[in-house]
Amino acid sequence: MSVQITSAIPLVFLIISEGGWNVNYSPKSICALNVSTVTMGCTYTYPSGYVIVKTLWSTELVEGNQEPSDISLDAEYRDRVEYLGDKQSNCTLILRDVTEQDQRKYYFRFITNTATGKWQGQDGVQLFVTDLQVETPEEVVEGDDVTLTCKTTCNLTGPSYIWYKNGVSLSSTTKALNLKTVSSEHAGSYSCAVLGQSHSSSAVILDVRYAPKRASVSITPSGEIVEGSSVTLTCSSDANPPVQSYNWYKEKTLLGKENTYIIPNISSEDSGEYKCKSTNQHGSKYSSVILNVMYPPKNVSVSISPSGEIVEGSSVTLTCSSDANPPVQNYTWFKEGGTSPVGSGQTYSFTISSSSSGWYYCVAQNKYGSHSSALSVILKGEKWVYTIMELD
Ligand SMILES: *[C@@H]1O[C@H](CO)[C@@H](O)[C@H](O)[C@H]1NC(C)=O
Ligand SMILES: *[C@@H]1O[C@H](CO)[C@@H](O)[C@H](O)[C@H]1NC(C)=O
Ligand SMILES: *[C@@H]1O[C@H](CO)[C@@H](O)[C@H](O)[C@H]1NC(C)=O
Ligand SMILES: *[C@@H]1O[C@H](CO)[C@@H](O)[C@H](O)[C@H]1NC(C)=O
Ligand SMILES: *[C@@H]1O[C@H](CO)[C@@H](O)[C@H](O)[C@H]1NC(C)=O
Ligand SMILES: *[C@@H]1O[C@H](CO)[C@@H](O)[C@H](O)[C@H]1NC(C)=O
């Protein structure tokens, strides 16, 4: 029961013919990773009595008497293909180092000992080749739940994925890498690969954005601030993207909108709390600093008590007061005509006598300087009177 096959006989006839001329590709479609090795599982059948003289794989599907080109002779494939099949029923082919250029259909062809006993498996096996690409959300803000995906253009069958952050492998083995409530520590360079395969995705930078944090105000020059000096306040913070606007406040008053605020000739009234508000599109952060401006004594004045009538033989107390920062450390009292102090401390007491007449000076001093004030006690006719004078 030999069937005489000629090229004129339509394929329909061949399919229904006894014994079965057939090529079965399994699977019919393959998704392969770039530079991986692909096994194209294949079996074939033909009516009994035929002897296979030639088998080949091709990228061409031919009709009639034409012969498809053999990929094992093609420079593009020659070094990468290996026929694992035989001349009976197995037509399995291995293709190594597949790339995107290999993405097409492949057909198995076998030729028997009879001139017309040839067959090419029409369906072919479809090869898809994919690379790996890390897909990240367009913008990631601290606190977001983020999913990175190791994207492929076709569905790889059941691979285990490997994820890398800054070249160090992570524990996730799935196609999706879930990052819960991300912080700036999650920022970095991510890539993915498939277990057992050399190809890996290119690295993608995950940029985690956040509102300003760790804000601070620095003062230059550092150290004590003395009245009359020039002081620069600088606001700094860590923010991503960088701070877009600054606002300086003292109490509720807006002072400036630069990164720095300069007080060229600082005075005691400039003491107090300065706040800087740093803002980017994700939020604001306040930071503050307290300026304590140092100055030598000022508004030094002497008062006398009792303040009423001064009577000879009575005791009077002079009190020196002043405004200074730091407060006056040393009050020193002098009497007109004398070179050495008559007293020290904030008060000076003495008993009124005929020799008490004259100017009494108080010198108030702190480490930044001194300032004086004076009071005179004089016997005018029958009465003692006093006069106060502020000195420069
Ligand atoms: C075809 O041959 C290959 C290599 O020897 C083998 O791995 C495969 O299992 C065979 N296929 C069938 C269907 O026998
Ligand atoms: C596939 O791998 C080759 C060799 O590493 C590389 O040159 C090519 O760009 C890769 N193709 C894709 C689509 O990634
Ligand atoms: C891959 O698989 C998914 C889910 O199984 C399916 O929705 C999708 O269409 C498949 N993609 C391709 C290219 O086959
Ligand atoms: C600084 O301020 C003081 C008091 O306001 C003033 O007397 C002085 O001239 C100022 N100095 C300069 C350099 O502007
Ligand atoms: C110091 O004196 C000035 C005027 O001489 C006055 O305006 C100011 O209020 C005084 N300051 C204090 C703390 O007494
Ligand atoms: C107080 O003033 C006197 C005289 O000027 C000085 O000798 C002394 O060291 C000063 N004391 C302090 C604590 O500043």
Ligand nearest to the CA of 226: 4
Is 268 within 8 Å of 228 (Cβ atoms)? no
Question: Taking CB atoms and a 6 Å cutoff, what residues make up the pocket around ligand 4?
Answer: 228, 265, 267
Which pLDDT value is given to residue 139?
93
Atom of ligand 5 nearest to the CA of 298: 1
* Alpha carbon of 330 to ligand 6 centroid (Å): 6
Cross-strand bridge partners of residue 105: 126
Ligand nearest to the CA of 103: 2
* Alpha carbon of 305 to ligand 5 centroid (Å): 22
Which residue's CA lies nearest to atom 6 of ligand 3?
A: 155
Q: For residue 207, which phi and psi values (nearest 5 degrees)?
A: -105, 115
Which residue's CA lies nearest to atom 13 of ligand 3?
A: 154
Cα–Cα dist 85/41, whole Å? 9
* Alpha carbon of 194 to ligand 2 centroid (Å): 15
Which residue's CA lies nearest to atom 2 of ligand 3?
A: 155
Which residue's CA lies nearest to atom 1 of ligand 1?
A: 90
* Alpha carbon of 298 to ligand 4 centroid (Å): 15
* Alpha carbon of 93 to ligand 6 centroid (Å): 103
Complete domains list, the chain, with CATH: 2-129 (2.60.40.10), 133-206 (2.60.40.10), 211-291 (2.60.40.10), 296-391 (2.60.40.10)
- Residue by residue, pLDDT tens for the chain (392 residues) are 333 444 444 443 444 444 689 999 999 999 999 999 999 999 999 998 899 999 999 999 988 778 899 999 999 999 999 999 999 999 999 999 999 999 999 999 999 998 778 888 888 999 999 999 999 999 999 999 999 999 999 999 888 999 999 999 999 999 999 999 999 999 999 999 999 888 999 999 999 999 999 999 999 999 999 999 999 999 999 999 999 999 999 989 999 999 999 999 999 999 999 999 999 999 999 999 999 999 999 999 999 988 878 888 999 999 999 999 999 988 999 999 888 999 999 999 999 998 899 999 999 999 999 999 999 999 888 888 888 887 76
Within 13 Å, how many C-alpha atoms sit on residue 40's CB side? 28
Record the tokens describing residue 118, joined without a space: 């040839």
Is 230 within 8 Å of 210 (Cβ atoms)? no
C-alpha distances (whole Å) from 235 to each of 194, 216, 226 are: 47, 6, 21
Ligand 2 mutation target, pool 31, 33, 35, most atoms within 8 A of CB: 35
Which pLDDT value is given to residue 337?
87
Is 158 within 8 Å of 170 (Cβ atoms)? no
* Alpha carbon of 299 to ligand 5 centroid (Å): 6
Cis peptide before 27 (omega within 30 of 0): yes
* Alpha carbon of 41 to ligand 1 centroid (Å): 7
CB count within 10 Å of CB 187 equals 19
Is 230 within 8 Å of 263 (Cβ atoms)? yes
Cα–Cα dist 28/50, whole Å? 26
Atom of ligand 6 nearest to the CA of 341: 4
Cis peptide before 306 (omega within 30 of 0): yes
* Alpha carbon of 267 to ligand 4 centroid (Å): 8
Atom of ligand 5 nearest to the CA of 299: 1
* Alpha carbon of 362 to ligand 6 centroid (Å): 13
Ligand nearest to the CA of 45: 1
Atom of ligand 2 nearest to the CA of 132: 14
Which pLDDT value is given to residue 392?
64
| Cα torsion through 154, 157, 159, 161, rounded to 10 | 20
Cα–Cα dist 207/139, whole Å? 8
Which residue's CA lies nearest to atom 9 of ligand 5?
A: 299
Record the tokens describing residue 197, joined without a space: 């395969």
Cα 244 off chain centre by: 16
Cα–Cα dist 370/390, whole Å? 13
Q: Provide the sign of the torsion angle of the four alpha carbons 266, 270, 271, 273, taken in this order.
A: negative
Can you tell me which residue has the tokens 């405004």?
Answer: 323
